[in-house]
């Protein structure tokens, strides 16, 4: 493999509490001491930030089942353009990723066609139906890194308890879509002022909060890791804060869209503002920001959910939930969180690297010599306008098209191989 010398970058490594100007040397896919290189390609990164590769614990690749919206090839290309070197593939495909065969298929296609690391997530229940536990042991043997019924939520509390117990025995974290379905049924946006004004059925925050409370109880009782996906309400953040202060093994993620948008945007009747959980109130958004700033929320994840233009080009009530996010996560979060001084660049990087790694049980995810050369480089000063027509993703369902942002990905390196390069 070729050698690389990445020079004069601002190196930020949250695990080692490192923030300094320096060089990173790469040989045979791993980080080495610079003196070990013989004839490397030299890339000058003056003015750029270099960090461990971003990890997204919440990505829908749609393959198998809906390759018109996304494929493993296009989804991983989008990930690379967004600075992500590893992505966790959600199991709500068709067929579901609830068997060893389905996981082996995903891994094979990812090796053949993917450009970043695809970490498979297996279903908690068969078919993601929430009725019968999947074969967790065989999923573990097939190589899953976590369990989830993402897009759905187990409503049977006894079943959920057993799933968590089995997950612990196989050392697999739970990634849970927290939604009590009888309260959320028929809802298309946040229940509140704007749902009343617009005459739309609302999804109350309580539908999320009930399940988060349940999960905290099980995490405490069983002493096992439960990660709350796309947290969206103030009370959810408050419950997580209290639970973590008590040492209960729970974590939470926030998405760039919940951190930057509110339910008021739905008045545009643009289906690119329809997601689940829905965009919440400004008070909820501020609570998420507070949770990001004080460390309650340790992960930023995209919930990248591709849909075709045809699928989204219908009445708001009938459109599918979800937006894409891999290629806009860094600039949106940098613009909304770092530029106004809410968090620092090292804090943002931690939410995209060390936080996700901790959820997945990846130890010492850093730029230390001997580690895999998974690296992200971005320009913190670059200003531009997001243009969905330049995306690597097959889908275009984003609410951020036309947004002026700061922070541009320049280089993504996976196992020492450059998989995305622009502007350096």
Whether 19 and 82 share a structural domain = no
Whether 195 and 170 share a structural domain = yes
How long a stretch of residues is the chain? 424
Q: Give per-residue pLDDT as tens, 376-398.
A: 999 999 999 999 999 999 999 99
Q: How far is CA 97 from CA 62, 63, 163, 195, 400, in A?
A: 11, 10, 16, 35, 30
Q: Check residue 214 and give its pLDDT.
A: 98
Whether 342 and 412 share a structural domain = no
Host domain of residue 150: 53-364
Whether 197 and 261 share a structural domain = yes
Q: How far is CA 349 from CA 146, 285, 356, 366, in A?
A: 22, 20, 11, 12
Q: Would the pTM count as exceeding 0.85? A: yes
Residue 38 located in a structural domain = yes
Residue 95 located in a structural domain = yes
Q: Give per-residue pLDDT as tens, 120-161.
A: 999 999 999 999 999 999 999 999 999 999 999 999 999 999
Does pLDDT of 357 surpass 80? yes
Whether 38 and 142 share a structural domain = no
| CATH number of the domain encompassing residue 390 | 2.30.40.10
Whether 84 and 202 share a structural domain = yes
Looking at the chain, the whole-number percentage of residues with pLDDT higher than 90 is 99
DSSP codes, 102-170? HHHHHHHHHHHH-SSEEEEEE-SBGGG-SSSB--HHHHHHHT-SEE--TTS----HHHHHHHHHHHHHT
Q: Check residue 1 and give its pLDDT.
A: 57
Q: What is the mean pLDDT of the chain?
A: 97
Whether 394 and 294 share a structural domain = no
Whether 290 and 386 share a structural domain = no
| CATH number of the domain encompassing residue 113 | 3.20.20.140
Q: Check residue 2 and give its pLDDT.
A: 85
Whether 354 and 382 share a structural domain = no
Q: Check residue 344 and give its pLDDT.
A: 98
Q: N- to C-terminal Cα distance for the chain? A: 21
Count of domains observed in the chain: 2
d(CA 223, CA 194): 40
Selection from 48, 54, 2 nearest residue 362 by Cα? 54
Whether 167 and 42 share a structural domain = no
Q: Check residue 57 and give its pLDDT.
A: 98
Alpha helices by DSSP H, listed for 246-367, are 256-260, 282-294, 309-312, 329-333, 345-352, 354-360
- Domain end, chosen from 318, 338, 364, is at 364
Q: Give per-residue pLDDT as tens, 324-348.
A: 999 999 999 999 999 999 999 999 9
Whether 40 and 61 share a structural domain = no
Q: Check residue 85 and give its pLDDT.
A: 98
Please give the positions annotated as active site: 303
- Domain end, chosen from 340, 364, 388, is at 364
DSSP at 304: B
- Domain end, chosen from 316, 342, 364, is at 364
Mean pLDDT, residues 73-80 = 98
Coil, helix or strand at residue 331: helix
| Contact between 90 and 98 (Cβ < 8 Å) | no
Residue 371 located in a structural domain = no
Whether 123 and 213 share a structural domain = yes
Residue 369 located in a structural domain = no
């Amino acid at each position: 493999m070729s050698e690389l010398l990445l020079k004069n970058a601002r190196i930020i490594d949250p695990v080692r509490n490192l923030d300094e100007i320096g060089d990173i040397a790469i040989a045979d896919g791993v980080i080495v001491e610079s003196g070990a290189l013989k004839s490397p390609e030299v890339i000058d990164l003056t003015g750029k930030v270099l960090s461990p590769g971003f990890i997204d614990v919440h990505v829908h690749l749609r393959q198998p089942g809906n390759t018109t919206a996304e494929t493993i090839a296009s989804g991983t290309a989008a990930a690379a353009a967004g600075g992500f070197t590893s992505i966790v593939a959600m199991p709500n495909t068709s067929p579901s990723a609830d068997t060893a065969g389905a996981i082996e298929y995903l891994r094979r296609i990812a090796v053949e066609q993917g450009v970043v690391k695809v970490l498979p997530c297996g279903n908690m229940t068969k078919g993601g139906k929430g009725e019968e536990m999947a074969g967790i042991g065989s999923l573990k043997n097939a190589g899953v890194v976590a369990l989830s019924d993402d897009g759905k939520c187990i409503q049977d509390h006894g079943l959920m308890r057993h799933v968590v117990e089995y997950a612990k025995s196989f050392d697999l974290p739970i990634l849970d879509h927290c939604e009590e379905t009888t309260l959320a049924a028929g809802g298309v946006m946040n229940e509140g002022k704007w749902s009343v004004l617009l005459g739309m059925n609302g999804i109350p925050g309580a539908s999320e909060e009930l399940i988060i409370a349940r999960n905290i109880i099980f995490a405490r009782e069983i002493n096992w890791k439960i990660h709350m996906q796309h947290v969206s309400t103030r009370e959810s953040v408050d419950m997580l804060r209290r639970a973590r202060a008590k040492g209960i093994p729970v974590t939470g993620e926030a998405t760039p869209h919940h951190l930057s948008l509110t339910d008021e945007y739905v008045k545009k009747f643009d289906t690119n503002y329809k997601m689940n959980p829905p965009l919440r109130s400004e008070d909820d958004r501020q609570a998420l920001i507070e949770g990001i700033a004080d460390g309650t929320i340790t992960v930023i994840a995209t919930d990248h959910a591709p849909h075709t233009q045809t699928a989204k080009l219908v009445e708001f009530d009938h459109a599918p939930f979800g937006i894409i996010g891999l290629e806009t996560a860094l600039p949106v979060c940098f613009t909304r969180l770092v530029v106004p001084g809410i968090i620092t660049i090292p804090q943002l990087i931690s939410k995209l690297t060390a936080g996700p790694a901790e959820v997945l049980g990846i130890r010492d995810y850093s730029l230390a010599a001997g580690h895999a050369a998974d690296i992200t480089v971005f320009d913190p000063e670059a200003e531009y306008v997001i243009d969905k027509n330049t995306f690597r993703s097959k889908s275009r369902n984003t609410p951020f098209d036309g947004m002026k942002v700061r922070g541009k990905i320049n280089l993504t390196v996976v196992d020492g191989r450059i998989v995305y390069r622009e502007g350096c």
